[in-house]
Amino acid sequence: MRPNVLTRTLVSVTAVVGIAAGSLAGAGASFAASAPASKSAASSEAVVPLAVNNLGLSSAQAKKVQRWLKKYWGYTGAIDGKLGTNSWKAFQRELKRAYGYTGKIDGIVGSGTVKALQRQLKANWGYTGKIDGIAGSGTRAAFKRFADG
């Protein structure tokens, strides 16, 4: 199993378990006790969500970013306005080339990806905050300027 498939599967199973636990926590004790223990909430094959992280961009802005990624950075996915794993893999390729991203090209928007994005936004799109790997309001505002640029 490839690492990103394993990660998505783990995230999917964790989400299903968390949703199930939250649902049971709100239910009465008799309901929770009566649930059959042998039934699985969902299989990892049934639920494999694609992580989407638009970092505050509208769908129209995210489509502009995807078109740019397709033109310059090998993005081959749909222009759907959802910055998912494949969009972020293409973005990571660009960030690795020019903005100090040193992580894996895995499409996960972690602190390393955000730090490199912040360096890009600081160099070209008016970001004035710290390079801290946290996509706060300043990072999101500069990312919107990038998308609209």
- Structure pTM? 0.67
State residue 115's pLDDT score. Answer: 97
State residue 51's pLDDT score. Answer: 82
State residue 6's pLDDT score. Answer: 41
Quick one: pLDDT band at residue 26, thresholds 50, 70, 90?
very low
Residue 37 is classified by DSSP as T
Return phi, psi of residue 110, to 5°. -95, -170
pLDDT, tens digit (0-9, with 9 covering 90-100), for 83-95: 999 999 999 999 9
Listed residue (121, 119, 110, 105) closest to 65, CA to CA = 121
Q: Average the pLDDT over 109-137 and give the result.
A: 96
65-92 b/e with 16+ CB inside 10 Å = b? bbebbbeebebebeeebbbbbbbbbbbb
User: Per-domain residue ranges for the chain?
Assistant: 1-49, 59-148
